[in-house]
Structure 1
């Protein structure tokens, strides 16, 4: 992974880069909880099952459709709404009916989030119920001011600029005093344009499997200020 356009958190002076931040914004899936927990794989498989039943397709063909919709529309849900006019509430209930015990409680992460000065938000393309259950299992839910979910964004997912505008307006975010943490580089383009500090959270040891490489396109871009594969340690160093 190239580091030519990124700052790494290596010295005390880097803490000054966040001294002005008062609003801390976190994506949920594969950001607040680590990718290696594999929780999202359950959601991913249930989306495949939903499409297989909806379209009467074998699972392998349903998965191709699923990934195509995701790439073209930003979320599988958005694609199914556009092309199949599905009930979004029913879809969200179905795909988030998963086993949250896969997540290990992370009290150290909770302590690091609590130590950050100012407000903390979860900003997710999932729904509120999923975010609450995952954050509760991690042991970090009580540290957050609010959750901005796909329903709050009128079902328009990140990285659409209008979704960030809704979030910023709803919570009176001062973007120049904000930082956003995400596992998908494309979702940090608009925050950087708005004036936020941007932090890309990558898999541990910066590993990316071939199968999901396209999701991480642009992760060496100038719209990313910092990169970390250890969110807890990163937050400890800047708080």
Structure 2
């Protein structure tokens, strides 16, 4: 396989799940639901989980069921400073800079937020492009989302490696013919190749034959 491109998820892929940062974002989503849609606080988490599991992103679910305002949601939910949760990551930056493949971010989060997180990690300049959940509401694991990235980058699925922490996104990629790699801090998975953190990617690529 001629591996030319690395497609990275953002949240809990380029920073660790154990940081607790996504928990803070989930709390903001719950608060948004209670304020905008009068969802009782005791039901907000279950409501958010239903939207996420049904549509692939909470924002997508709110758009489908409530015609949510994209900008209003993005401004409120992602207003969480990452600094208390994880620092800049010079080790990850060094690993990314050492890899010859073109690197892109492919996320179900928004563009401004993605730039802010990548800049905080000090790895923004490692990526050629950012592919995000836009107003068209095309998100992973919809096949159209992967096709959109393929068209934008010019890299075929057969020459790309997709790196994510979420199994349904990995399945969506694999079903289309992408090589996949899971990020899981346990280092264990029966269905997908796995590394514990993105910093291990260089050694993973050296130790396999693609």
Structure 2: tracts of 5 or more residues without a match: none
- In the alignment, what sits opposite 1:205? 186
- In the alignment, what sits opposite 1:131? 114
- In the alignment, what sits opposite 1:142? 125
**Cα deviation, residue 206, structure 1:** 4.3
Please report the RMSD computed on the Cα atoms of aligned residues, expressed in angstroms: 1.7
- In the alignment, what sits opposite 2:30? 48
1:125-174 Cα distance to aligned partner (Å, 9 max, x none): 0001111111111111100000000017x212100001111110111112
Report SS of the residue matched to 2:79.
coil
The worse-fitting range, judged by mean Cα deviation, of 66-75 and 44-53 is 66-75
TM-score (structure 2 length as normaliser): 0.91
Report SS of the residue matched to 2:182.
strand
Structure 1: tracts of 5 or more residues without a match: 1-18, 208-218
**Cα deviation, residue 237, structure 1:** 4.4
Is the contact between residue 4 and residue 155 of structure 2 (CA under 8 Å) also seen in structure 1? no
Question: For the structure 1 residues 237 and 189, does the alpha-carbon distance in structure 2 shift closer, same or farther, using more than 3 Å as the test?
Answer: closer
Question: For the structure 1 residues 236 and 106, does the alpha-carbon distance in structure 2 shift closer, same or farther, using more than 3 Å as the test?
Answer: farther
**Cα deviation, residue 41, structure 1:** 1.3
Structure 1 Cα separation of the partners of residues 174 and 49 of structure 2:
27
Is the contact between residue 120 and residue 144 of structure 1 (CA under 8 Å) also seen in structure 2? yes
- In the alignment, what sits opposite 1:23? 5
- In the alignment, what sits opposite 1:185? 167
Q: Give the one of 210, 220, 238 matched to 2:190.
A: 220
Runs of 4+ in 1 over 4 A off after TM superposition: none
Report the number of matched residues.
205
Is the contact between residue 176 and residue 194 of structure 1 (CA under 8 Å) also seen in structure 2? no
Report SS of the residue matched to 1:159.
coil
Structure 1 Cα separation of the partners of residues 201 and 5 of structure 2:
16
- In the alignment, what sits opposite 2:17? 35
Is the contact between residue 124 and residue 149 of structure 1 (CA under 8 Å) also seen in structure 2? yes
TM-score (structure 1 length as normaliser): 0.81
- In the alignment, what sits opposite 1:96? 78
